Amino acid sequence: MTRSPVAVLVGLLAASALPATASELSPQDFAYEVLLVTPGSATAYRVSVPLDVYRNVAHEDLRDVRVFNARGEVVPYELETPEPRLAARPRGPSLPLFPLRGEARVALDGLRISVQSQGTTVNVETAHGATQALAVTSYVIDARELSLPLSALELRWPDGAPDFSGNLRVESSDDLAAWRLVRGDAPIVSLRAGSAHLTQSRVEFPAAKAKFWRLTWLGTPAPFELSSVTADPAAAPPQAERETLTVAATPGDQEHREFLFDLGARLPVNQVNIELPEPNSVLRLRLLSRAHPTDSWRELTQAEFFRVQTGSSERHNDPISITRNSDRYWLARVTAPDAARGAGAPKLQVSWDRQDLVFLARGEGPYVLAYGYGQAAAASTALTPLLKGVIVQEASLGTVRLAGGPTRLESPRVVPWKRLILWLVLAAGIVLLAWMAYSLSRELSRTPPSKP
């Protein structure tokens, strides 16, 4: 069977458009390399992607990173974001504890609490100015100095106290007048049998924040008085591990009171903050960014930033969460022209979720992390399902070294092969249809007309 010249031409064009098989990469194909220090012997290792990689890659998605073994072979690797971890909870303080004797409502109505010297001195008096010799039926706890919500209270009573088993009602208030029920029946136990001692002294409840707490015995009060109460702050939600970079400002447009920042890298930023140069400063700023010096600025957010001195410490505004932004250049513009920003220039602090590079220890070490190659294609492998039950060891980074040099960062000119092939095929189809129409018309012209 023979093929038309047009079909042969189309086939040759399509074959010529197929990419050639890429040769094996080597560390010299990349601009830079850094030695990976791998302690012991393990199946896989993990290393946090360093800032220098973000600064010296050709592609912001990090497709141009590879790990090589001692034979110069690429080993399987994966870029992953570690799972968020629970933040360590601070140990709660011991809170001021005020016993109430007799009927709880009457006792509280007659209670007077005065605070002196910013909460350092607390005086408690009853309506008659003296404590009556009645059983303690409830306690008021002063939690005004706490900034975090509580999830539990740890109770303490004297050693050798009589045995007891009962329940407490837990309430909260912000003004000592209106009380909210937090938990209705928290068990409290202190029992002994020979040398054994059964104790339940922790009162747990849904996380809540309040200035005051009240504990009331249900039924018979305990035959002892509480000696102290320790607060247990609620657990914070899991937080992603973060990396942070702080950059000083360079003066910008003085008329618009602007400050320019160059991160020096395309970072996956999702949280920003401004550090003001002087204490007791408040400044409202508009934050903008752009990928290249020639691009137009695009606004990200507006916010008020502050830095206030409070005794021996300082209070600052919280960082601002933004949509992931990989722009290198940033600008902070003062929104109010007459704002008193003080002396000095602010600093920009950016944060992003930590990224790890996990690789399999195939072949002998030492292993090398190479990065910065404009012609690289994505090569990350999904290793997470393969490493279930495998302990991934932590690796560390050595000194950065020059490999192929900065010229490796240049990206090749992209040829739109698919579009070119499509147009060639369409042109060939038009030529083929025209040739067929021409051939058909010639045959019809040579055919004699049929006789009636």
End of a domain among 181, 215, 233? 233
Q: Is the pLDDT of residue 210 over 90?
A: yes
The pLDDT assigned to 194 comes to 86
Handedness of CA 322, 327, 329, 331 (dihedral sign): negative
* Per-residue pLDDT tens over the stretch 360-408: 999 998 999 999 999 999 888 899 888 888 899 999 999 999 999 999 9
Q: Are residues 291 and 370 in the same domain?
A: no
77: in domain: yes
pTM for this structure?
Answer: 0.62
CATH of residue 293: 2.60.120.260
Q: Is the pLDDT of residue 449 over 50?
A: yes
Q: Are residues 317 and 261 in the same domain?
A: yes
Higher pLDDT: 345 or 165? It is: 165
Q: Would you place residue 441 in the very low, low, confident or very high pLDDT band (cuts 50, 70, 90)? A: confident
Backbone angles phi, psi at 85, to 5 degrees: -115, 150
- Buried b / exposed e along 131-148 (16+ C-beta atoms within 10 A): eeeeebbbbbbbbeebeb
Domain that holds residue 211: 94-233
Give me the residue label for tokens 């140069």: 277
Cβ atoms of residues 198 and 191 within 8 Å: yes
Q: Are residues 112 and 213 in the same domain?
A: yes
The C-alpha atoms of residue 65 and residue 199 are separated, in whole angstroms, by: 57
Cβ atoms of residues 13 and 421 within 8 Å: yes
The C-alpha atoms of residue 222 and residue 414 are separated, in whole angstroms, by: 82
* Per-residue pLDDT tens over the stretch 224-259: 999 999 998 887 777 778 899 999 998 665 565 889
424: in domain: no
The pLDDT assigned to 116 comes to 52
Q: Are residues 360 and 347 in the same domain?
A: no
Q: Would you place residue 3 in the very low, low, confident or very high pLDDT band (cuts 50, 70, 90)? A: very low
Q: Would you place residue 419 in the very low, low, confident or very high pLDDT band (cuts 50, 70, 90)? A: confident
1: in domain: no
Instruction: Please report which helix (H) or strand (E) contains residue 354, including its range.
Output: none
Q: Would you place residue 311 in the very low, low, confident or very high pLDDT band (cuts 50, 70, 90)? A: confident
Q: Are residues 220 and 336 in the same domain?
A: no
Higher pLDDT: 123 or 304? It is: 304
Q: Are residues 343 and 373 in the same domain?
A: no
Q: Would you place residue 5 in the very low, low, confident or very high pLDDT band (cuts 50, 70, 90)? A: very low
447: in domain: no
Mean pLDDT of 315-336: 91
Number of structural domains the chain divides into: 3
98: in domain: yes
Q: Are residues 58 and 161 in the same domain?
A: no
| 5-19, 134-148, 360-374, 392-406, range with the lowest pLDDT | 5-19
Q: Are residues 144 and 169 in the same domain?
A: yes
Q: Are residues 221 and 126 in the same domain?
A: yes
420: in domain: no
Q: Are residues 185 and 294 in the same domain?
A: no
Q: Determine the 3-state secondary structure of 243 from DSSP.
A: strand
End of a domain among 198, 233, 268? 233
Q: Which of 104, 189, 89, 91 is nearest to 140 (CA)?
A: 104
Q: Which residues contact 261 (CB under 8 A, 6 or more apart)?
A: 247, 248, 249, 250, 329, 330, 331, 332, 348
7: in domain: no
End of a domain among 214, 233, 252? 233
Of 106-115, 120-129, 254-263, the range with the highest mean pLDDT is 254-263
Q: Are residues 318 and 283 in the same domain?
A: yes
Helices (H) and strands (E) in the chain, counts: 4, 30
417: in domain: no
Q: Are residues 98 and 215 in the same domain?
A: yes
